[in-house]
Amino acid sequence: MIICEKCFCDTEIISVIQSKEEIGDCPLCKCKNVYVYDTNKYEDLSLMFDELISIYTPASSLPDSYPKSDTRLLASDLINSWNIFNNKSESNAYKMITEICKERYVYDAELFEQPVGIQELYDQDYLLMHSLLTTNSWDDFVNALKTKNRFHTYYVNLNLLERFCSYIRKPYKAGKIFYRCRISTEDGIPAEEMGAPPIENASDGRANARGIRCLYLGDTAETTIYETRAGAYDYVTVGKFKLIKDIIVVDLKKINQISPFIEGLDCLEYAINKEHLNKINNEMGKIMRRSDSTLDYVPTQYIADFVKSITHDGVVEYEGIEYKSVMHNEGYNLAVFNPNLFECIDTQIYGIDTIDYRKHIVQ
Ligand SMILES: [Zn+2]
C-alpha cells in the first residue's frame, strides 16, 4: 500500500517517509507530487507502530476490574489520544494500521478488531513508579500545594517531569523579537522602564511567585495588548524586546503533543501520563478572573520554578517557559526567568478605540 507524508501529522513519521526520497501521488489522501512510502517495501513504520500498539491489550485479556467504559477500538484511540493522522476518520486509520502492521495483524487480529485498553492505567505498582503524580490526581496535587505543603510536596515525580521537558525544548536565536505591553498615559513609558518590575514590585504571576522577577513577553504586539486587558480609551505602550543571546525554553504548549515515536521515549509511560500533561497545559492556559486568589497560580509557579532549577553540567538548561495566550487565541507568551536576556529596543504608544465584549447568561 502506498501512503504519503501528507497522510500524517506526526513529525517523526513524516521524517521517516521523507527519508525514503521517493516522490509520487498518494492513492489514499489523493495528494500529488509528495513523498510517498510503500508499506510492502519498507518496515520502518511497522517497527514504530508495533511499539506503540504494544501498550494496548484487547478487552478479552484485560482483568475483570478494568472499566469497560475505558476501552475503545485501537483505530479510534490512536486518533483521539495521539496526534498521528491527518485524516481523523476511523476507517482510514484502521486501513492504515492494518496495512502498516500487517504481520502483527495476522497473529494478533484481536488487537485491531476488539476494544482495547491500557492495563497499566489501573496498575497501582506501575503508577507509583511511572506516573508524574504517582497514584495521586492533579486535584490532589493542587490541593496539597495550596493547603498542605508549598515547597516540599512529594506529589510530583520530578525526574519524569524533567524528561518530558526535554522532549519539548525550543531554541531561540539571538535577535529574536518579542513584545510587552503596559497600560500607560498618552505620553507612553520610556523603553528603559518597559522591562520586568523591580523585585519589590514583582507580584504573583503564572510563572513567578511574589518577589521573584520574571519578564513576561508575547509573540506579537496584538497578543500583549490582549493580555494586558486594557479598557476602552486606555493608552498602552508596547515595547519591542530583542533577545541578546541564544537560549532554549520549554514549550509547554506542546506538552500534550509529544510524538510517541521519538527515539528513546517510553510510549507506555507517556500514555499513562497524558491526562496529567493535559492538565499542565490547561492550567497554564487557564483564565484568571479578578476575584480569583493568587493561590491559583501556585501549581504553575511550582512547575515554572522546577523548570528554572534544571541544570546541565552546572549550567542553567532552560531560560523560560512558553505557553498559549488565554486572551488571544492564536498567540503565545514567553515567561523569561532572567529579565536581562532581553533588551527593549523600541516602543510604540497606542490608544484603545473599542473593545468587543461577548457575554453569556450565568443565572
Ligand atoms: Zn497520503
Q: Do 39 and 45 touch, CB atoms closer than 8 A?
A: yes
Measured in angstroms, how far is the CA atom of residue 26 from the centroid of ligand 1? 5
Tens-digit pLDDT profile for residues 202-220: 999 889 999 999 999 999 9
Residues in the chain: 363
Measured in angstroms, how far is the CA atom of residue 35 from the centroid of ligand 1? 9
Measured in angstroms, how far is the CA atom of residue 30 from the centroid of ligand 1? 6
Angle, alpha carbons 175-176-182 (nearest 5°): 115
Measured in angstroms, how far is the CA atom of residue 4 from the centroid of ligand 1? 4
What residues have a C-beta under 5 A from ligand 1, the ion?
4, 6-7, 26, 28-29
* More reliable by pLDDT, 325 or 347: 347
Which pLDDT score is estimated for 326? 83
Which pLDDT score is estimated for 101? 96
Choose among 251, 238, 243: nearest CA to 176.
243
Cα–Cα distance for residue pair 174/246, rounded to 1 Å: 5
Measured in angstroms, how far is the CA atom of residue 19 from the centroid of ligand 1? 16
Q: What one-letter code names the amino acid at 170?
A: K
Measured in angstroms, how far is the CA atom of residue 270 from the centroid of ligand 1? 27
Measured in angstroms, how far is the CA atom of residue 11 from the centroid of ligand 1? 14
Q: How many CA atoms lie within 13 A of 83 on its CB side?
A: 11
Measured in angstroms, how far is the CA atom of residue 157 from the centroid of ligand 1? 40
Q: What is the radius of gyration, based on Cα positions, of the chain?
A: 24
Measured in angstroms, how far is the CA atom of residue 138 from the centroid of ligand 1? 39
Measured in angstroms, how far is the CA atom of residue 1 from the centroid of ligand 1? 11
What are 276's three cell numbers? 496529567
Which pLDDT score is estimated for 116? 97
Tens-digit pLDDT profile for residues 266-310: 999 999 998 898 888 888 877 777 677 888 899 999 999 999 999
What are 128's three cell numbers? 507509583
The strand ranges marked E within 121-223 are 169-172, 177-184, 215-218
Measured in angstroms, how far is the CA atom of residue 39 from the centroid of ligand 1? 12
Which pLDDT score is estimated for 267? 93
Tens-digit pLDDT profile for residues 163-211: 999 999 999 999 999 999 999 999 999 999 999 999 999 999 889 999 9
Cα–Cα distance for residue pair 210/181, rounded to 1 Å: 20
Q: How many CA atoms lie within 13 A of 185 on its CB side?
A: 2
Phi, psi of 34 (to 5 degrees): -125, 170
Q: What one-letter code names the amino acid at 50?
A: D
Q: What is the mean pLDDT of residues 243-260?
A: 93
Q: What one-letter code names the amino acid at 45?
A: L
For helices 138-147 and 298-309, angle between their N-to-C axes, nearest 10 degrees: 90
Measured in angstroms, how far is the CA atom of residue 12 from the centroid of ligand 1? 16
Phi, psi of 349 (to 5 degrees): -100, 135
Cα–Cα distance for residue pair 295/147, rounded to 1 Å: 9
pTM to 2 decimal places: 0.87
Cα–Cα distance for residue pair 203/197, rounded to 1 Å: 9
Q: Do 39 and 99 touch, CB atoms closer than 8 A?
A: yes
Measured in angstroms, how far is the CA atom of residue 32 from the centroid of ligand 1? 9
Measured in angstroms, how far is the CA atom of residue 25 from the centroid of ligand 1? 8
